[in-house]
Structure 1
Amino acid sequence: MSLIPQLLREIYQPFNSTGAALAPVDWKETPEAHVLKADLPGLKKEEVKVEVEDGGKILQISGERAVEKSEEENKDEKWHRVERPRGGFQRRFHLPANAKTDEVKASMEDGVLTVTIPKQEIKKPEVKTIEIVTN
């Protein structure tokens, strides 16, 4: 599988209107965990999905910001400006090797999604020195 499409997605993802513009994310690392916070104003937790895929290597946050019924139904109203983004969004993050992806937790309060990914200690590979003998 080629890495080029994946690299291009990562490079251009900040400019993807269905991603960063609809769901800006902050990611910080603490000694215990990786913590991501996404601003999702107006969304309910039922409208948002948090998934770990590709064997725990990718965290995906996705959802749908629907058009309000009042915007569709009343034909007597004339809209002068519609700036609040609508539609689907998707954000994907490559998780580091120390992420405990089987213990990911997510919560949502006041339009802010918080995803906490605990960290595990990465064991350094054991190095065995081989004695060189003369023949």
Structure 2
Amino acid sequence: MSIIPSFFGGRRSNVFDPFSLDVWDPFKDFPLVTSSASEFGKETAAFVNTHIDWKETPQAHVFKADLPGLKKEEVKVELEEGKVLQISGERNKEKEEKNDKWHRVERSSGKFLRRFRLPENAKVDEVKAAMANGVVTVTVPKVEIKKPEVKAIDISG
């Protein structure tokens, strides 16, 4: 328990704590800020925190998304118009009890959405997705580019 009271309230920050990385938000409880604006901020936080790697191998494009704490039922992998890979889902906010006292809230909640335009060499009919240990792996095979057949011609003379 702190001997210095928190005049700015809230459960997220304490401006008097030199070790706190949280920043006081002067507009947090401002009456003109609508709930949709605060929801947008939460969704943006979840969106920003969804880290995805995209690598290209000789056989495929491989996407890996870190989604800790989510079940595969909470994640969607979709193709839009056969050209855009979309990975989306939602992290639900933890239920608050009356007697709970939060000291820090750093895990984001809300919806997230990431979209990637696939290159022309993607085989969109053979896309596969798997999830293990909080990581979604989407594999998009590539069309094999056939090298033109070269025929050697003998030179006479």
TM-score, length basis structure 2: 0.62
Name the residue aligned to 1:28. Answer: 55
Aligned length: 104
Name the residue aligned to 2:94. Answer: 68
Q: How many angstroms apart in 1 are the aligned matches of 2:100 and 2:45? A: 27
Selected match of 1:49 from 73, 76, 80: 76
1:101 aligns with 2:124: yes
Query: Whose helix fraction is larger, Structure 1's or Structure 2's?
Result: 1
Report matched runs for 1:76-87 at 5 Å: 76-87=99-110
Gaps of 5+ in 1: 1-15, 125-135
Query: Whose strand fraction is larger, Structure 1's or Structure 2's?
Result: 1
* Amino-acid identity (%): 69
Name the residue aligned to 1:39. Answer: 66
1:17 aligns with 2:45: yes
Name the residue aligned to 1:117. Answer: 140
8 Å CA contact 2:54, 2:63 repeated in 1: yes
TM-superposed deviation, 1:23: 1.4
Deviations 1:78-130 (A, max 9, x none): 11110001000000000000001111000000000000000003579xxxxxx
User: Amino acid of the residue matched to residue 64 of structure 1?
Assistant: E
User: SS of the counterpart of 1:23?
Assistant: coil
Structure number with greater Rg is 2
Greater relative CO (CA pairs within 8 A, separation 6+)? 1
Deviations 1:22-48 (A, max 9, x none): 310000000000000000000000000
Q: How many angstroms apart in 1 are the aligned matches of 2:105 and 2:68? A: 16
Gaps of 5+ in 2: 1-43, 148-157
User: Amino acid of the residue matched to residue 57 of structure 2?
Assistant: T
8 Å CA contact 1:22, 1:40 repeated in 2: no
TM-score, length basis structure 1: 0.72
User: SS of the counterpart of 1:17?
Assistant: helix
